[in-house]
Structure 1
Amino acid sequence: MRYLKVRRVGLILLAVGVLCGVLVVGNGSRQSVPRTRIQSGTAWLPSASAGQLTLVDGVADRVAARVPVAGGRRALTAAQAPGAGFALDRASGELIRVDEITRQQRRTIVPGAVRLISVEQGLVVVGRDGFSVLDPGSLVVREHQRTPGRIDDITVDALGRPWMLDRAAGDLSWFTSGVRRHRPAPATAMLVTVEGAPVLLDPSTGVAELLNPATGEPTRTWRLDTRPGDAVLASGGSHLSVVSGSTLRICSPELAQCSSTVEIGGPGSELGVPVQAGDHVFVPDYGIGQVSIVDVAAMRITHRRPLFDGRHRFDLVVADGIVFYNDPDGERSGVISPDGRISVITKYDSEQLAAGELVAGVPDPVGRSGQGTVASVSRPAVSGSGVGPGSEAVAPEPLSISVTPHDRASVGEELVLAALGPPLTAVHWDFGDGAVGEGVTVQHRWDRVGTFPIRASAVSMSGGARYDATASVVIDLPGAPPGVAGISVEPPKPVIGQRAHVSADITGGTPDRRSWSIVGPKGTEVTSDAAEFDHAFAEAGRYTVTLSMAAGSQVVRSSVSLQVDAGRVVGWGQHATIPPEAQSGVIAISAGTNHSLALKADGTLIAWGDNTWNQVTIPSEAQHDVIAMSAGEQHNLVLKSDGTVIAWGQYMNGPQDVVIARPARTGVKALSAAPYFDMALKSDGTVVAWGGGDPGQYVDGNMPIPEEAKTGVVGIAGIAGRLFALKPDGTLYSWRSRMWEFAASSGLVDVVERDVLDFRPGDHTTVLRRDGSVISVDKNFLELPQEVPPPGRRDIVAIGQGLALKADGTVIAWGSGPNLVPVNLRALRIDGSQSCGLAIT
């Protein structure tokens, strides 16, 4: 009897923040970014028998490096990031990072880890009860999300929002700004991402749904025409590839239709998950050890190539557009070209391994961290100071401590401690009970009850600077009643109408019952007996969130206080008269030259200011479901929750209306509207630029992009004469545009600044560094040391054009723009242009 097989395809996770057309990914100075990969067209492939990671060069068809990472006969899963390869030993939970240049290794233990994948923002490890994002350089935890059930599928949309399937519970969940949403899903469902949009497939009914990233509801539905009882597999990418039984079809969610079928399998076939590379789909057949290559445009098989003799399990891996095949248990690997050429590459000598001459042991690694697990991060106060320019006190790059799974445990229970901060060479730990330890990540058990102070003392890789951080843990007796280690509200500073997710970290035993209450200015606003829930606050004010839990006759209560702000827009300079609808519930702002935009929590867009080019007349399709926007000189760009990009107004060299280049119509996660052109950052880190110019010039998105900014970009922006791109290592690149004669060769690309967190270009460009310092640079990118006033140079959390926001909400302004900030202004967010300043309060 044939049965329905559902396999997990693709695991991606992004963590992004969009700031008025400039996208910045990461967590500032706490982010440790590995160096850029020197070799392209390479893939790290695992060999379980040899306990080895092999770096295979797909351009030269050769082995570039062999690195022993574990003992032989280990179940290894591999992934790669720029500059490094990773191996996960699924039996022991050991995670190993191999530097591509030095071959040095860094290790940690992740108990219960079952899946591993590298993405632009970090290394994703999926465990039994959730997933975490690890720093790809130091292997310390950046983010952790727990899930109520198991994770059968996990993927991400173009805006970095994770989507997960729990088939047993029939639940589809996703995260928006750290807030978990969910809806029912069929028990046989599959989940993939196509052009950055989530697609839910139900093989039992043969139906596919393109989902709205904001609500999870279908925006398009179509039939897959799968046959009942067939094994169904699917993969995403630029299109949806569906294998049903022995056939393949290609589907377009945008058109809500599928192609005709191509017969792939035959007698003895067992088809696997297809992969996409360019205009071809590669379908593995484990039953006969071969691969079929399908031309997507013609929907026909162009080549069938045997890879192994008879039945054989193998992996297909796509890296830099090259398709690799790999025997994860043996020595054989190679490259598959779209033209059917097969290159065989031997990862190691199997005879040497059998004779014991191939060493499969583990060399002494760099920074071995001991036992570890994945969990949420706590960030205590940082001690230490330094002296900067002008003898002004400067706080060092911060160091903090994460405690996993929480900072409250029982006697004998193991906790994992990690030092978070700049790249570190050594960390010394004092656990507060007389014991000490060494390593970036360590584990410890306490043998008695009490509250124990923890101190981490570290030395940075760059310059040998020394840092200290402190935290504390509470240790109870085993079998202690349930307790609350902490209550979480995300986002921590909501505004009116913005949905916040409320949850708690529970310690000790399981409570018999629990009860939540939220009390505000008008009394009790909401109650709930759920483990976690969402709530939209109706008015501004101080709120108290309380969780009560009972176990038998014992009752435990814990409360946190939070401030809900109005979400009111305040303006100064030109077009500073704010419309009434922007007086509450606003979560984002974008300041153009002569007009401004505001985005409300419900996805409504508001525009005001000069309307000469109809730039504040919002088209009906852009009035709702908006998730990001960019106000330009005379036109606007918005991104909707379904991935649609909309533009209106005119370029400065009109009179033609603005357009959206075809490559920027799907898979976009950030936009920047410049006076003469537009830029889009896609979910794969590539940049598309197009513009006004002469009619039809560059409308197809073929504006030249320099090599430095073609891939791996995390932030974009444009002004009249220049385009900017920010890379993950903090390097900010810029290149000129001279009346559409774009100087995009590598020799004409400028490095504006390094160690950049955020930037706002202009006649004088404002730059926020990862250490919280701010500088202003001129058109030649020379620093203007006296332009930024002293209060705006340090401890800054956000910037605008000539604006800086401090943690206490203070706004500092300078330069030729509007610098008369309203008295006593305390802001949540800011933005500015040369003509106006905006803040959300």
Structure 2
Amino acid sequence: MLTRIAHAFRTKRMRTFAGTAAVLVFLAGVVVLGSDRAHQTPLVRLHGGAAWLASNKVGQLTLLDGSSAEVAARVPVAAPGSPIRATQLGSTGYALNRWDGSIVRVDGATQQPGRPTNPLAASGDQLTTFPTAHTLYVLDSNRGLLVPVDPVDLTPRGTPQSLAAQVTSDSSAVDDDGRLWVLDQRSGDLVWFAGDVRHARPHAGTPERTRLNLAAGRPALLDLTRRVAELLDPETGEVVESVQADLRPLDKVAVSGSPQQRRLLVSVASRGLLMVCTFGAESCAAPIPLGSGGGDFGAAIETNNHAIVPDYATGRVWIVNLTTMQVVVERQLFTSPIKFELLSRDGVIFYNNPDGDQAGVLYLDGRVRAVSKYNPDDPGNVHPTNATDSRATGGQTVPTPGSSASAPPAAGPGPGTPDPPVRPMTTAIVIKPRDRGLVGEELELSVVSPGGYGISAARWTFGDGSEASGTTVRHRWDRPGEFPVNVAATFETGQPAPVSTATVVIEPAGTPPLINKINIRPEAPQAGVPAWFSAELGGARPETWEWRVTGERGSVATSNRPEFQHTFTDPGTYTATLTVRAGPASVQQTLRFVVAPAPAVVRCGDVLTTDARLTTDLDCGDDVGVTIAASNVVLDLGGHTLKTPATTRKDTAIEIKGPGVTNVTIRNGRLTEFLNGISLTDVTGVTITNVTTLSSSSTGQGTPDRGADIRGSHARDIRLENTNLTGTWAFVFDNESTARISKSTLEYHSHPATPISRAYCGKSSACTVVDSTLRMSDMSCLAGTETVETGSLTIDNSVLPAGINSYGCRTATVRDNRIGPVRFNPSGSLVFTGNTVDPGPLTGQMASLGSDGSFVISGNTFSEMTPGLAVGGHGVVSGNRFFDNPTIGLSIGSSFSGYSGGTIEITGNIFERNGNAPPTWQVERGGIVINSRDEDPQITVSNNQTRDNKGYGIYATGNVVGSGNISTNDQLNCFGVPCN
């Protein structure tokens, strides 16, 4: 019956993912059918900053002069209606036809098109072109083929090369020296071409979760799973600098790099943020709020130290000053959702609708000069039609430079649009350049909304008796001390915000800069391992920084940054000297420290008692690869792979065995083809970070008693961070083990869409998973012949797209997750709060929750499930929202729920638009359906709201009581309990 219902009422939901629109230093591609005939070139004087733009409807490349905002040339390159992608090198444009894969070159001097050519004999929907001074690279991301082409006559230079890689638009780029960089999304391998020489770095990023871009012309990676941005050496591909990024599993991101600065710009559509990740810092800067979240952000472009972030869902852009880290202006370019192009040429910002006539120039103060690339009423007219500055763009009026007119607001959500996520209506104070200064020094203070709400007014007090108004103010203090700063803001909605507070420390005027402390991380550095230097300062703000690190052989490192990174090649005693200057005053401090010898080089069969490091991939054959037999050991895999083919039951990549072993770290590498990846027995305090496992159990051989990626027995305080567990048994913990897994991915590597991966946490063990992505079939606390339920499980703030089953646990806590079809029925207590539950592609599924002990199910949403929730046992269902479930929102006692006869309280829930399945499948349908008996324990239904449900708002039989329920526009109102 359930299968028939699922089949009959399957709904296909369109999910919008923020595509990463790669806006490189060249334009988006274009195609040509080509023609050798001459065509008229308008007598327009070209200035710096001209851009070739795609005009798909007329099959042309349009040359837009950025200085005059006039159309300088319109060149036919394809049949009208052809999808064109334009790229550009200098003044020369290239058009890629995404229908037939042909490429046309348009000469920058003559604006004449060449003949079309198809160097890969392929359709163009999977092609990307990368023009360089000496080579035009043509990449077929579908087949993993690359062909270098002469950039003038477009003839191939040799046969296509196979990359054996899966490539996307945000995993390929050309650096400033003409190297093509490609990241394989299947393996995470990095490949690059310098001339005709191919280079590779295996496992550079997490497969399908890493973005490739350029920062200051150098390759950089953003690994969404490991939450780290990495700047690479363009010669070796190795990491030279890294910075932590506060990303979440649900984040939809688009990434771009700064053309001049060593930083990445990360547009986070799901949270409405822009992150600026500068290499050399410890972490990305505090996110800049843009809108309310849930948009369709593209990659930002940067010019003149400003970032411009597009939102395709609303047709608007945000312009952000990267010096002050504040939004300068929000500008509406289009009044409907459009996948427009945004690019920068010679400091000029262009926008373009490739499927329409609208284009223009955008200024950093928000002014717009709009242009029509062709006559939309007569597309065949070859003469350019230049619009005035007040021409309507996409139906809106664009003001002339200096005009005070503003664009209309973005279109609001249409009928049936789901309610937006709840955002915190709070404010925060941003103080620049820092929250301390000198008497008489002016500081800038701004009030911002982390939830993205507009702020219309703010009133400040500065702790010195003075006040000011405005969302951004400047203030000087006339005496030293610690001053509490308060701001009372008002949102644009008119609602007052809670008062926000910060503390400013003011020191006497003339106080020289002070160096309170020099920091080095780690505190005990080792040769061959990166070390970070920073300082804690007071007094006047430094104007210059001078670092010098010296050893027995003289200077080994210098820097003029507040923080920097250095890798020592030799052990020994070193001195770090920092000099900072502010005006005529300067101060200097030194730190003397010891660099320990480089970790030992690991070999197969080693028993480690001191720190060690892999320097190459190891194939260790059978039995145990490496054993750690002492406390305080760090095993750095160095980005390499440890392989131990599974032929015996003892086949283990890394074994840590006590008793008494504690404080062990394993990091930075890959374990593959083993039966057990890491085995932990009688140990405490083990950290496993940045490790990917690919066990032989992924072939289906593994069982909880036989093989697992991570196995622990009497293993306490085990921490897994930024790990990828890809076997059929991700982890197995038993015998009073405790483990915490964070910022990780757990999924079956061969078929990530098939959730057959499992995990086990039993025999009085406790396992916690947070901030992670789980594509698994179940997490259990019983195995084999076990009957005593003693394990416990916690899942927080994670994504479980295929749902999960959990059985045999004593307690289960599931909070703040995005989750598919789910079943949790622990023997003791269940806490299920703050989750969003929907089936994703697995329609016809249901949520089943309950407990033989007690349960609390509150603050969740259940949608498009069949039913939304079936509950059994005894406990409370409160404050949830059930909507668009085809048969029933909440079911108790039907064939779905397995009701076990406990007391249940159902209160304060909302039920909307449930029961839309045809009535022939199920007579009893609607918001709540309860089928109990008179002799069953009492069920209380109170203070719920039901509206627009087909069938009943509430249907109840048996021992059910209730009051305060409200039914609005339900087909059959309520039965068995009263509704107003």
Q: Could you say which TM-score interval applies, normalised by the shorter chain? A: 0.3 to 0.5
Structure number with greater Rg is 2
| TM-score, normalised relative to structure 1 | 0.38
**More relative contact order in 1 or in 2 (CA 8 Å, sep 6+)?**
1
